[in-house]
Amino acid sequence: MSGYSPPVPAPSPAPRPRRAPALARRLAALARALPALALVGCLKIPVEGSETPEPTAAEEAPPQEVWPGKGAGELYAVGELRGFVLRRGDGILGHSWGRYDGPTDDQPPLHRFTTRVELVLPGREPLRSAGEIVVDARGMLIRGYEQSGPSRLEFRREGDALVISDGRQEERVAAGPEVATMAFATIFHEELMLGLRHLQSGEIAWRLVSLSGSLPIEWSAQVEPFEGAGATKARLTTSLGETITIERGRIVAIDIADEGLAIRPSSEPWPTWELAPPPKLDYAPAADATFTRREVELPGRPGEPRLAGEVLIPAAARGGPRPAVLFIGGNGRQDRYGFAGPPPVDLGFHAISDALAEAGFVVLRFDERGQGGSEVAPLSWELGLEDARRALRTLLVQPEVDPDRLAIVGHGESGWRALQLAGEDRGVVAVALLAAPGRPYREILDAQAEADIAAMPPELQARAREEHVKLMKAIEGGKELPPELAEQAAWARELLAVDPARLVSRAPAALWIAQGTSDFEVDPERDPAALQALARRSSKKPTIRRYPGLDHLFKPETGESSPGRYLDPEGPRAVDPAFLHDLAAWLERALAPKRGGKRGRGAAP
């Protein structure tokens, strides 16, 4: 619905990441694909409230040393490789590697460790991640990164805080000398965490900071030595559900009996694949473009954030005022060109607005809050609606605009914003809805959740449905949500109150509904059919256009559409030119001067 990510994630038994647009989003997608894998131990994205194992008899005996702990530069030989294989039964779920690259050139020297993870997804490409951490002699993280696909988190130490950046936003996490760090499915990090510390029988505990974007937790384990006095081998039962066997500071086994998972050292060589750095998105008009651009600021009331945008002025405007279009993107998290992220995603909105300017329309497009040249400010459905009002007012006063020939094009949920604005301003004579929802938002969220739940193993489905019901009640009732969803709560709550029937009833008669058949964010059959039915109920005759093989962004999709596909892993996919032609042609007819003279403001089209 949003053009990039649903405002509220569908439920899953896996914990939710806090930085949804960054690396944790991709890991959460894995958690949905392999929910049982995501629920266990070192493979789990940690959450607060993990339970400490029950005390054992070992706690009552005098402590017995298992491992003295060593410095970061003493645990491994330079270049030494540690590999692990992840299995369930006879099947291999993936591999995890780590390597000590040696001291750095820093003064005093630090120590660099690199990691690779490859998890096998049935019927899909492997999920791969790569990371690097640079630590001091005690093992305290100084800097590093974690990357999965084009999603990348970078870390740097500032005093007792770890600053985590996704390329656009930063977060500070308390991470003093006793704090450990670990990335998702990176077994080497767990071995390093244990090898750096003095281990003895009884309980051990410390704070564990995730390098994959989820919440820090209080980690603990019960340590039981093997083989009597002087043992160097021990079993650890952890608060994350693992049973870890270590010998002389090395992991020799991890077992999660409830899930049938086993992790063992492997002799697999270091992988040859590399992850490309996240792409940089840049906009430039086509070399043969005939329109020009003018930067504008969208005036607002005192206290409202600064919003920036630009007006596209077609060459035909030299002959006098022209019909105008306000373009509103889908989810409030992209700039004027439709560049979203991180990870960097080209939603293709620039192709739509450019095509309309080439077709002779004056177009206004703008940066959403916190994107491009617009100030960072709270986000919600209502606040985004007010920003769109500011954009409409700005467009109307441009000298090239004929105020009697005005249309709004809204993508995704911003189709609802377009309808709302058109109902408020009778000067808007046409609305184009691009992949817009037609059903109430609650119905859409329930359907999305049920689709995700149906793909889960049967034993997890009842729990997931309970979680979804609990989440929806919390949102509707204004109750406190988990931190990772709190940012989206107001947005979702306001959307749940929107009545699409009321919006359509107040819309102008000129209504265009476009839908790609490969859309996964709105239902390509039910949503346009619902919009059409609502329009006919109000005696309107909308134009319905369905585009086979196009996704939510009106780009060609030959496989299964998903948020990951928006990243264009197989190369750029352009917005379909036939769709662009049809949109421009419909607007030209809808905004044509009325026979016998121009329309007056508020007159019927």
Going by pLDDT thresholds of 50, 70 and 90, the confidence category of residue 596 is: low
pLDDT tens digits along 184-203: 889 999 999 999 999 999 99
pLDDT given at position 87: 93
User: Whole-angstrom Cα distance, residue 338 to residue 368?
Assistant: 10
Domain segments of the chain as ranges? 23-266, 297-439+501-590, 441-497
Per-residue b or e along 208-228, where b marks 16 or more CB atoms closer than 10 Å to that residue's CB: bbbbbbbbbbebbbbbbbeee
Of residues 185 and 546, which shows the higher confidence score? 546
| Model pLDDT, residue 31 | 34
Tell me the whole-structure pTM to 2 decimals: 0.73
Whether residue 14 is predicted with pLDDT greater than 70 in this model: the reply is no
Whether 16 shows a pLDDT value over 80: the answer reads: no
Choose among 348, 352, 359, 361: nearest CA to 312. 361
Q: Write the pLDDT tens digit of every residue in 116-151.
A: 999 987 777 788 999 999 999 999 999 999 998 778
| Lowest mean pLDDT, pick from 14-23, 43-52, 577-586 | 14-23
Q: In this structure, what DSSP letter does residue 323 have?
A: E
Residue 556: predicted pLDDT: 94
pLDDT computed for residue 484 by the predictor: 52
Q: Looking at residue 461, what is its pLDDT?
A: 83
User: What are the C-alpha distances in Å from 294 to residues 311, 368, 465?
Assistant: 5, 17, 50
Q: What string of DSSP letters covers 53-73?
A: PPP-GGGGSPP-EEE----TT
DSSP structure class, residue 556:
B
CB atoms near residue 270 (< 10 Å): 12
Using the predicted structure, report yes or no on whether residue 33 has a pLDDT greater than 50. Answer: no
- 507 DSSP assignment: S
- Tell me the residue ranges of DSSP E strands in 329-451: 339-340, 345-346, 362-366, 401-411, 428-434
pLDDT of residue 120: 87
Architecture of domain 297-439+501-590: 3-Layer(aba) Sandwich (3.40)
CB under 8 Å to 409, separation ≥6 — which residues? 325, 326, 327, 328, 352, 356, 418, 431, 432, 434, 583, 587
Q: Compute how many other C-beta atoms are within 10 angstroms of the C-beta atom of residue 581.
A: 12
Average pLDDT for residues 473-484, to the nearest whole number? 75
Q: What is the pLDDT of residue 574?
A: 93
Of the chain, the percentage scoring pLDDT greater than 70 comes to 84
Closest CA to 433 of 511, 337, 490, 324: 511
Are 219 and 205 within 8 A, CB to CB?
A: yes
Only one residue has tokens 């054992």, namely: 56
Higher local confidence (pLDDT), 60 or 232: 232
Report the distance separating Cα 56 and Cα 575, nearest Å: 62
Q: What is the pLDDT of residue 601?
A: 41
Q: Could you identify the residue written with the tokens 């421009």?
A: 584
Q: Are 100 and 113 in contact (CB under 8 A)?
A: yes
Measured CA to CA in angstroms, residue 536 lies from 426, 430, 505, 591 at distances of 20, 16, 9, 21
Say if residue 600's pLDDT is above 50: no
What is the structure's pLDDT at 482? 63
Instruction: Provide the pLDDT for residue 171.
Output: 81
CB of 422 closer than 8 Å to CB of 433? no
Q: Is the bond leading into 500 cis (omega within 30 degrees of zero)?
A: no
Token pair listed for 91 = 């099947």
List, for residues 353-377, the tens digit of each pLDDT value: 999 999 999 999 999 998 999 998 9
Q: Residues 413, 329: contact at Cβ < 8 Å?
A: no
- Average pLDDT rounded to a whole number, residues 63-87: 94
Kindly state the DSSP code that residue 575 receives in the 8-state scheme: P
Please state, rounded to an integer, the average pLDDT across all residues of the chain.
84
Q: Which of 312, 347, 541 is nearest to 434 (CA)?
A: 347
- pLDDT of 305 strictly over 80: yes
What is the token pair recorded at 185?
């499915």
Helix count (H) and strand count (E) of the chain? 12, 27
